[in-house]
Chain A
Amino acid sequence: MLRRKFLKLSGLGALVVAAPTAGFASISLKDATVGSIINEFDYLQLDKKGVEQFVDDFLAYNFWNGSFKHTLVMRAIYTTKTKSDRSVSLFKTNMLKTLADTYLLSTDFFSNNMDENKPLKYMGLYSPHLKPCANPFSFIHYPAVVS
């Protein structure tokens, strides 16, 4: 399925397009976080329910929820369509990188051998204390072999 069609079907496209026209202050942390993930991974096939569930779990687990600074920065990341490799603000970069890394690690992306053409499925929040031994870089998943 083409990415554009997939987004349209899942309703995510509307969210991305609507963002810049909506009032900055009215964007919720959840919407900004969901939209930022979609923007960051605009070349992957995401599913709306999965991304939303991830954001619910992520915000329930960390301290961003209720933080004025994080809400403000995440709104800025979302409305300006900032990407993790294209920001002059280290704080913004780190925040988005943390979010994007955690999202990807929470999906089946690595167990599907990083197949960029396969739709991503949310598997549960990545946290070593909730689910140990899931580091996709580790020897458990891929032994290091260099000739």
Chain B
Amino acid sequence: MKQQNYDLIVVGTGFASTFFLKKYLSKASKSAKILVLERGHLFPHAERLKEKRRESTPFAKLNDHSHNTFINNNPEKIWEFQAGFGGSSNCWFGCTPRFMPSDFKMKSLYGVANDWPVQYDELDSYYDQVEEAMSISGPEETPYPRSKPYPQPAHAFNTVDVLLKKKYGNLYINQPTARAKVPVNGRGSCCVSAECSVCPVNAKFTIENSNLGVYEDPRIELVYGSQVFGLELEQNMVRKVNYIKDGKEHHASAEVFALGANAIFNAHILLNSGDTSRLTGKGLGEQYGLQALVYLDNLANFGGGTWVSGNGYMLYDGNHRKDYAACLMESNNAPFLRLEKGKWRDIASFRMIFEDLPSEQNYVAPTADLMKPEVNFKGPSAYTLKAVEQMKQKLPEVLACLPIEKIEFQKPFASEAHIMGTTRMSESPEEGVVDKHLIHHKYRNLFVLGSSTFTTFTPANPTLTLSALSLYAADKSF
């Protein structure tokens, strides 16, 4: 640590922290002093590829495996993330649909959960900025409003996508994605390897390949191997951050702090610090998903331009959300073979992804080990489970334009690899933890970033929105 006192201290180097810093740096003075504390280390993409090829790499054991960083009291439920520089940008799959405007108004439109204090229109220009920074590939028309075209053209549809597009218009679109269509900034072009966690051709946007210039900025001091476990709170302000590095406890002070860990650890740091907000740590959740295999009668399905080539909104929005959850469809091009003579590719595979609502029975709590939270999860809501049953009834009708032999539904996934909701955003302190600018309702020099602040859990993937929220929060606050 080079300084005793900083203008800003940021915890974590994932999407939320990085986009917050990007905007902050554009507004801060040339002499600003910023400390970034990262619990893990850089594990470069080239070394990750070696690990995938079963070659040895000294980087492989630098970072904790996510499953060892917390106590999971429900082993049937998995919480996927990566510790280390760039956080889960190193393992995400790059799906970047925007939220729908209605997603921000669940209470006023459908009488469910709560409205977000920030609305779609306020985020629109920040969505544009993130899409530009990530060089998102996307279609010309979308079910949500846009003021600009996507930076890159859309990836190709597969055979089934083409038929569904013809039937449903802008309710069926090429998936907007951070898997590049056109090589950009040293990234390759997606070639449908369908192994996106570590992209074989580095087509996917990550913090490491982002070219955002954030961590190269001389105003930033980035310290690896520093796990923050608490904050010193005094008179409703944060004075210091406490962390462990090389087995020793350290402290650093600043004018402003920003927590950009994930929804488990943002909450854990606050709880360790004595945050008494009623909802801190509560409402942990994510989407719920399962695979639908559609066996086709004499129709070969192929030609998709990326891992997920289509997003279907036919079961997403509408008055049904008063009773049951929205569902987003993903059309998948992983090489799932139909092992029947003459029918090798007569199959389509859709991931059906359902929204969920925060529940206080799902929560993060501190333990006797200051560095390790426990995670308690009872299960998805009845609102979500009802939507699964409705989907199973309606899908044959939705897909009636396809020559269907049969549809098989697989067991729900143990994870959608999104972790949300433990420091939710709200208008008032009684209903949440942070305000619309992601500032803690009680500690007014503390930002809490990322999907821990989500008020509800829309079926759309969270990364684009949490990144836009970081830009918005920094832009409105500095």
Q: Which chain A residues have a beta carbon within 8 Å of chain B's beta carbons?
A: 40, 43, 61, 84-85, 90, 97, 100-101, 104-105, 114, 116, 127-130, 132-146
Interchain CA distance A146-B340 in the complex, whole Å: 23
Partner among A101, A137, A145 whose Cβ is within 8 Å of the Cβ of B301: A137
Interchain CB contact under 8 A, B193 and A128: yes
Interchain CA distance A58-B159 in the complex, whole Å: 31
- A105: chain B residues within 8 A (beta carbon): 335, 337
Partner among B53, B158, B198 whose Cβ is within 8 Å of the Cβ of A144: B158
B333 interface contact, C-beta 8 A = yes
Q: Is the interface of B mostly helix, strand, loop or mixed?
A: loop
A100-B339, A128-B200, A142-B302 known; A135 vs B159 contact (CB < 8 Å): no
Q: Which residue of B lies closest to A138 (CB)?
A: B192
Partner among A90, A104, A129 whose Cβ is within 8 Å of the Cβ of B195: A129
Q: What would 16 more interface pairs be, CB under 8 Å, given A85-B339, A145-B303?
A: A40-B339, A84-B339, A85-B340, A90-B411, A101-B335, A104-B337, A128-B194, A128-B195, A128-B200, A132-B191, A135-B191, A135-B193, A136-B335, A137-B158, A140-B192, A144-B302
Kindly provide the distance from the CB of B38 to the nearest chain A CB, expressed in whole angstroms: 26
A100-B339, A143-B156, A144-B162 known; A135 vs B194 contact (CB < 8 Å): yes
Kindly provide the distance from the CB of A74 to the nearest chain B CB, expressed in whole angstroms: 17
A144-B156, A145-B303, A146-B162 known; A129 vs B52 contact (CB < 8 Å): yes
Listed from nearest, the 8 A-B pairs whose CB atoms lie closest are: A144-B303, A128-B193, A138-B192, A133-B191, A132-B200, A129-B52, A128-B195, A144-B159
Q: Is the interface of A mostly helix, strand, loop or mixed?
A: loop
Q: Which chain B residues have a beta carbon within 8 Å of chain A's beta carbons?
A: 49, 52-54, 155-159, 161-163, 191-195, 198, 200-201, 301-305, 333-337, 339-342, 344-345, 411
Interchain CA distance A102-B340 in the complex, whole Å: 15
- A142: chain B residues within 8 A (beta carbon): 302-303
28 of the cross-chain contacts (CB-CB < 8 Å) are A43-B341, A84-B339, A100-B339, A101-B339, A114-B344, A127-B53, A129-B53, A129-B200, A130-B53, A132-B200, A132-B201, A133-B193, A134-B193, A135-B191, A135-B192, A135-B193, A135-B335, A137-B302, A137-B334, A138-B305, A138-B333, A139-B303, A141-B302, A142-B302, A143-B156, A143-B303, A144-B159, A144-B303
Interchain CB contact under 8 A, B49 and A139: no
Interchain CA distance A100-B338 in the complex, whole Å: 10
Q: Which residue of B lies closest to A130 (CB)?
A: B53
